Structure 1
Amino acid sequence: MPTLYVIVPILFVMAVAVYTDLRYRLIYDWLTLPGIAYFLIAHAVLRPEDWLAHLLGVVVLGGLSLGMAVISNGQLGGGDIKLLAVVGAALGWQAGLFAMVLAYLLAGVIMLPVWLASRLSRKVTLDREIPLAPFIAGGTGLLLVMVIYY
């Protein structure tokens, strides 16, 4: 179960990432890289028995995201990759993968109808780039709520 040293910082990182991604279409390294370092150090000091799962979270979520970015020809940005690595560092590889799946499900559920409506109306054009940070934050938040309350 996540504790306050995980919940408060991950919510802060997600809130700033959502703001900067929506406003500037960027998720800054000054946010994600210290976030990864913080969670790895915090878990190493406070729960050393689980530290490897969190290091694997960075590698697995960051690696999967990097693979998706390569396959999609850059549709997934570097900030999104590092933000998912932060999620892996905070939650571990298993919970991080679940948060990632929830994020993409949220993105699909919300963006598919928007995309269909824009295609059918032909009046509204949809940007090629869709900010992913709100969906990553939503998936992570949804996972935290599920873990805390169930």
Structure 2
Amino acid sequence: MHSITLSLPVVVLTAYAAWTDCKRKEIDNWVPAAILTYGIILNAFLNPVGFIESIVYMLTAFAILFTIYIITNGQLGGGDVKLLTALAFFFGSDIMVLLLIAGITATAYGVFKGIKDKTYFRTEVIFAPSIFVAAVLTSILAS
């Protein structure tokens, strides 16, 4: 969809979100807002045909992620939902790849951490670093 160069600001903002999530277990609200604003500007000028498609992916991702947030009583954090919703608008149809990579990365890390800490299935994993890894890989694969 977008070149690696155009994806660089999104990757940097996602890295910042991952860093703050690791440090404070919280993602600043301005990060998803900045990603969404950048995506709107970029799609409006470079991909006006795909603008509506991006809105559909964003709303679909939000509906699914918010449902998971409600069902799991907030185990998937609200910041993660906002970040992934903004990324869904930016990446469009590639959000499915991003979600798959993020899910696999978080699961693998959780399994290894659970075995190491002997917490097994009660292991808590911060999701934003996995989202960052997925954003980097999706930017490379989708370009």
**Same structural fold, with TM-score higher than 0.5 when normalized by the shorter chain:** yes
1:85 aligned partner? 85
Structure 1 regions of 5+ residues with no counterpart? Answer: none
Structure 2 length-normalised TM: 0.88
Any conservation in 2 of the 1:40–1:54 contact (CA below 8 Å)?
no
Tell me by how many angstroms 1:96 deviates.
Answer: 0.6
Any conservation in 1 of the 2:114–2:123 contact (CA below 8 Å)?
no
2:124 pairs with 1:146 = no
Structure 1 length-normalised TM: 0.84
> 2: distance between equivalents of 1:13 and 1:127?
30
> 2: distance between equivalents of 1:101 and 1:17?
19
Please give the root-mean-square deviation of Cα atoms over the aligned residues, in Å: 2.2
2:29 aligned partner? 29
Structure 2 regions of 5+ residues with no counterpart? Answer: none
Count of equivalent residues: 143
Runs of 4+ that moved beyond 3 A: 125-129
> 2: distance between equivalents of 1:23 and 1:147?
30
Query: Equivalences for 1:104-143 in 2 at 5 Å?
Result: 104-119=103-118, 129-143=124-138
**Higher RCO (CA 8 Å, separation ≥ 6 residues):** 2
Residues 106-126 of structure 1, C-alpha deviations (whole Å, 9 max, x = no match): 11112112113322xx7xx99
1:41 aligned partner? 41
Secondary structure of the equivalent of 1:28? Answer: coil
